[in-house]
Structure 1
Amino acid sequence: MINEAILLESRTLREGVAERTDVLDRVKALSLLPDGMHVTTAMVAVYFQVGVKAIESLVLDHREELEASGYRVLTGAQLTSFKEVCQIPSRSRALALYARRTVLNVAMLLRDSEVARQVRTYLLDMEYVARTQPVDNSVHSPLSDPLTDLDDRIDQRITHILGKAVVPMFNALIETSGDHRKELISLRDDVQRVKRKLCLHHARLQRLEAPREDRPLAGVMAAMDAMSGFEFEDHVATLLRRDGCTDVVVRGGHGDRGVDITGRTADGRSLVVQCKRLSPFQSITSPDVQKFLGSAKVLHKAEIALYVATCSFTREALLIAAEGGVTAVHRGLLEAWSAGTELPVL
């Protein structure tokens, strides 16, 4: 198997796997510009969770290689035309653009990024599997394995039964039991842990095994970035219902008393949600969280409060959320939730 250190040093090896851009979305969804083909320096920095200067420095050191993989800088008439097509309000006289191949190239060069390291690891694992996989000459559908499909259906069925029947049964027993209350609570917690593990297992299988043709090029987050505010609220409501929440109502801004969605968790706790569909480069600030905290805990007296956003939270906002009992569902957590991972608080 190719060593990660060798990949960092060998341009020949990097060029050999340059077409495997699908690993970018498998590790973390890459949002693209409206042209569906490019990202800016700032977007690359957000994807790899590093500063813009780190990306600019990398380009300076490896410009020839990156240009070969699709990097270019627009100026003049080309820049004006591109801004009009993509509706970019920037007043800059130059705009650096990265193709998906270029972003993968950056991942194979960027040393001080955990996301880049994950991309390299995933890329090398896939290459190893592809090189060592025995040839199967049997006649069967390449998209379906009966045994895998059966296991998948069994896992989903077990998850459904645990969430809809077993956990509610334990809740009822706990309410009426006296002597064995602690034992029943412990058993219920064990059942919920098994259910969460099954959901995580199913989500990982979907991400690893889903054919590329069935997934949007820019990933699940790009699809959410293209939604309107109302569409995003409906999407979050769908996720809540998927995870067993009941009485889920989208308030839609009419008499919502500071929240967008109300409902109850599978075990009956009251739930309120604030939804913010913002640019990935924006952040939820501490005043935003404080305002929602007052509505959620004072006006609605909610037991569970979710602040769901398509962007990040500032450090202060995260601290206030943690202190006030608000679950901050940031862009990365939202991506995992949308892909099938349950929120532990639910």
Structure 2
Amino acid sequence: MPIGSRPSHGPHGQEETDHMLDEMALLESSSLRASVAERDEVLDRVKELALSPDGLHATTKNVAAYFEVSENAIWAVIHDHRSELDANGYRVLSGEELTYFKQVCGIRSRSRSLGIFSRRAVLNIAMLLRDSIVARQVRMYLLDSERSHSAEPVDNLIHRLKEWIDTRITDALARHPVAPADADAVRIAEDIVRTTIGTAVVPALNTAIRNDGEQRARIEALEDEVTRLKRILRESEAAGSMGALDAMNSSQFEQHVAWLCRRDGCDPVMMTGGHGGTGADIVAYTPDGRRVVVQCRARTPAATITKGDVQRFIGMAKLDHADIALLVATCPFTRDALLLAGRHDMTAVHRGLLEAWHGGAKLQAFRN
């Protein structure tokens, strides 16, 4: 702006000032942010947001790239507003949940935790991140969208209501002329009617519109959850081949087998860690109280489980008072190993049976 010139007070200057005031309110007010949190479609109006292969979440790296800032800037926002972001879909995955997310998304990182953002949480970041041009553009679109979304129906209705009341008052006065002495009473009556509209009708309409928005948000959240579950189901079906299991290390394979036991109704399911391949890796209990002892062998498909492997496991399972003994392997069993397992009522979960179990079939040993 040239020295000596004044800020514009024309339509465009006033509009820009209003934008700045609204944006400051958005940055400072958590209740205002909550009122527009479901309008994540504005993200796509600025630029494309890269999501994880599940199609529903973005990592911290994705979010930083979207807003063209460092990951440290995103972490700083998370630190200051964690509870608000959690409410909008930010989560930190760890343990078994992280393992399966990495498998579904093909993530090779060895980190023990991973923050993921729903689209709603990314919009929340946009409403909090001050030093990002992209975040400010999102806020501008959001404010414009909210004005057209919420103001239009109320304004139109109030204008129609005001016109209807004015028409009725005019018609009534035309039909029933009043004396000059009654003019004050008429004016007071008109003021009462209009005041009542402003203090009772308008707030009621705003509340109704806000409640309607909340109901829509709940429905959309449910739809998002259904979409997420369908996508996970598709990914699980796609991983039904043994490729996903072959890519696991021993620890991951044990965690996966423990999850299969839980899926089929075992509770509790305890990871024991094994002892050099001679101890139980998992101990679980079926719903009817039977003790399940499991040993896991993550081997290449070219390897085999031998009669000696089975013999050692049978001895260990008896010492561990197993009602159900499972030797689970990613490779085939030799013929002698299968025969020995059958004679001692031990379940040999060989590569073919494991693939069926992983794909959703229930082991015969777990059935009553």
Q: What TM-score, normalized to structure 1? A: 0.38
Q: Which has the higher helix share?
A: 2
Larger Rg belongs to: 2
Higher relative contact order (CA 8 A, sep 6+): 1
Q: What TM-score, normalized to structure 2? A: 0.36
